[in-house]
Structure 1
Amino acid sequence: MNDDANLVKLGQIFDGFAEFVEDPSEGELPQQRILPYLFGNRHQHDLGMIDSSAAEITVTVGGKDYAIKQSPGLLTSARAGGTTGAAVWRTTSLLAEWFVSSDNPLFKSGLLDETCTLLELGAGVAGLLPLVVAPQIKTYHATDQSYALKLLQENISANSTSKKRNTKSPNHADVRLSSLDWELDDVNHFLSSHDLSDGLDLIVASDCVYNYHLIEPLTNICAAICRHRGRNLRPTLCLIAQQVREPNVFEEWLTAFSQHFHVWRFTDSTLGAALGIQSGYY
């Protein structure tokens, strides 16, 4: 997808805060810790939603409270195509907190900055990541199936009133919402119709690996998007954050993903105390 020099340069940057995953198909999954840009929770007493029964919850990120609406009714409905995006997942709030840290390695290393374009897969209704990341970059594309977009827009609009330190005000951040079905939509058409013919700087997927059925679609859409990156541009990065509920599902996904991508995992020191090994989040 991109020349070897770009890959070597990226590897040198990653060496400062991540570990290269040689071959996930060889060996075990020790304590569910074979993770590319990833955090997972080994405590499996719940599914990972903050409060699935509440119509509205408050989530604190970076010292700021966000009032987030959910749809418990939709979550428990029998809608074809899934309803998991109707609630706020704990992994997303942890990832948002990690993004706003002054020590965030992606911003500190220059891999992300105000010139970058990001696309989130399976954004759900929360809007936490667009709210905290979009003010720090050029454009944030939040995508999901159409059922989630109305409430996602409401949550972003309702929480986009105050200014963040050293960034654009959230209500002036460029956040674009789009429907994108990993299995049904044509990636080429999606990218060209959203002025993304040169590809993206970063793809983010938070808590999107939770059953075997999703492994192939998620892997394929990430690979298809990355193939659109201009050859003279830095390769597109994929950031996958995941709660590990079923290690076998995660390990199978990681093996499939590694057939298309060079994979690194963040070190515990990079994740910080809230996400390190002692906390149960990786």
Structure 2
Amino acid sequence: MAFKLWLLDEETIYEHVFERYTQLEGQSGKLAQDLGIQDRRGGVLEITFEPSGLEGGRKKKRVRRRNKASSVEEDQNVAVDSYHVSVGQSISSLHSSRDNGNSTTGYVLWSTTPFFINWLLYSTSAAPFRLGSQVEVTCGSSCEGHMLELPRLIDLTGADRGKRGILELGAGISGILPVILGNFVDTYVSTDQKGILNKLKDNIMENLSQLTRKRCISRSLRLELPTVEPVGDADITAASLPSKSTLHLEVAALDWEKINLQDKKTHSLHPELSLIGETCSSVYVIAMDVIYNEYLIDPFLKTLKQLKHWLQTTYNLQFHVLVGIHLRSQEVTTLFLEKAIIEYDFTVYDIVDQVIQESRFNFYLIT
């Protein structure tokens, strides 16, 4: 069964937060009681994503697809490819006043991101984000619901003619979202503070082989499509290579405190944002575990407000935001929702799904 959306307002915020943290408390014996670092023991993490939880009894259209040495059957509604990434992180930089003077947490991999990837690719309940479909919206127990049409976040088939983009805010150093989700979109822009970018680029380049479905071009990573490849006495042009669509992948600095898209003179400072507008018909902003204290809430929401206005008015894009929160402080979660809904006038939906409710995470769709 697909997830549902709970439309939150200034009254139901508190009901939602109370229910979610009550669920969390009831599972305290099953869930790890930590801050959410994926693994604080090592400088290099090896992480595998694979479709271990697919439903076996349902008949769906399947396509034969060869993945490395083995042949698998591809379910059109659920991803079947496996991925293995190697992530370099720096626990010492996380705690260093020299490297981390602005107290960013981006030097390590946080567990919200791997959970989100597994859920999005392999959970049957996440199908609306893979297929693009209507989702049931509830407005509380006493209100009649309605349906909301969602564009695809990712396209598993590669057959959809629509051009889709992802803009990642607060990416951190891991780089695993672009090298995995980049297989299913046309443009991916990963952003964070300037001090994070070198390690982020290193991890993306280390795992670029996981972009199995795309040919990648990137100005910031200095990647170009091959034009001629010598094979023996013959030359093979890019046009004669096996057909793969192209991913435009960029890494860019984006400071939430300084961004000002209302000033036309500053647009030239953000060519990566213009790239999304010029090449895509829809964009999802993804932000995983970026709301962990109250000081980040206003800069983040102001940035979203500017991005939404600029991308919609300048390029007429469909604009959606997915925010993943590791449920730590109940006060911070409540304040984030209060400000998003009441002060910044966003439409905010809680993504209601059993898999998510059995975790330490929560995900919100913002429009």
* TM-score, L = length of structure 2: 0.62
Which residue identity does 1:139 align to in structure 2? Answer: T
Which residue identity does 1:168 align to in structure 2? Answer: K
Match of 2:234 in 1: none
Match of 2:6 in 1: 19
Matches of 1:222 and 1:66, distance apart in 2: 29
CA contact (8 A) 1:99 1:133 kept: no
Matches of 1:190 and 1:148, distance apart in 2: 22
Match of 2:187 among 135, 139, 146: 139
Which residue identity does 1:141 align to in structure 2? Answer: V
Match of 2:129 among 74, 99, 106: 106
Residue 181 of structure 1 deviates from its aligned partner by 1.0
Matches of 1:137 and 1:209, distance apart in 2: 25
Match of 1:129 among 153, 168, 177: 177
Larger radius of gyration: 2
Match of 2:231 in 1: none
The question of 1:255 aligning with 2:338 is answered yes
Over 3 Å counting, the alpha-carbon distance change for 1:280 and 1:97 in structure 2 is: same
Match of 1:173 in 2: 247
Unpaired runs of 5+ residues, structure 2, are: 51-81, 133-150, 156-161, 218-245, 363-367
Unpaired runs of 5+ residues, structure 1, are: 1-14, 35-40
Over 3 Å counting, the alpha-carbon distance change for 1:24 and 1:217 in structure 2 is: farther
Matches of 1:98 and 1:191, distance apart in 2: 36
The question of 1:194 aligning with 2:271 is answered yes
Deviations 1:195-246 (A, max 9, x none): 5454861111100111111111111101111011234835411110010110
Match of 2:289 in 1: 207
Over 3 Å counting, the alpha-carbon distance change for 1:20 and 1:228 in structure 2 is: same
Q: What secondary structure does 2:84 align onto?
A: strand
Match of 1:183 among 252, 257, 266: 257
Matches of 1:207 and 1:93, distance apart in 2: 11
Residue 178 of structure 1 deviates from its aligned partner by 0.4
After TM superposition, the structure 1 stretch with the greater mean CA deviation from structure 2, 185-194 or 140-149, is: 185-194
Matches of 1:179 and 1:107, distance apart in 2: 28
CA contact (8 A) 1:100 1:132 kept: no
Matches of 1:202 and 1:227, distance apart in 2: 14
Match of 1:10 in 2: none
Matches of 1:82 and 1:98, distance apart in 2: 29
Matches of 1:228 and 1:132, distance apart in 2: 27
Match of 2:323 in 1: 240
Matches of 2:302 and 2:32, distance apart in 1: 28
Match of 1:77 in 2: 96
Deviations 1:84-133 (A, max 9, x none): 10000000111122232374322211433461122111000011111111
Superposed counterparts of 1:82-97, under 5 Å = 82-97=103-118
Which residue identity does 1:230 align to in structure 2? Answer: Q
Which residue identity does 1:257 align to in structure 2? Answer: A
Q: What secondary structure does 2:310 align onto?
A: coil
After TM superposition, the structure 1 stretch with the greater mean CA deviation from structure 2, 45-54 or 17-26, is: 17-26
Q: RMSD of the TM alignment (CA)? A: 2.8
CA contact (8 A) 1:48 1:91 kept: yes
Matches of 1:26 and 1:230, distance apart in 2: 27
Q: After TM superposition, what 4+ stretches of structure 1 lie above 6 angstroms from structure 2? A: none
Identity %: 24
Matches of 2:179 and 2:334, distance apart in 1: 31
CA contact (8 A) 1:74 1:83 kept: no
CA contact (8 A) 2:86 2:207 kept: yes
Aligned length: 255
After TM superposition, the structure 1 stretch with the greater mean CA deviation from structure 2, 213-222 or 54-63, is: 54-63
Over 3 Å counting, the alpha-carbon distance change for 1:73 and 1:278 in structure 2 is: closer
Flag the structure with more relative contact order, 1 or 2, with Cα contacts below 8 A and sequence separation at least 6.
1
Matches of 1:234 and 1:16, distance apart in 2: 24
Over 3 Å counting, the alpha-carbon distance change for 1:220 and 1:247 in structure 2 is: same
* TM-score, L = length of structure 1: 0.80
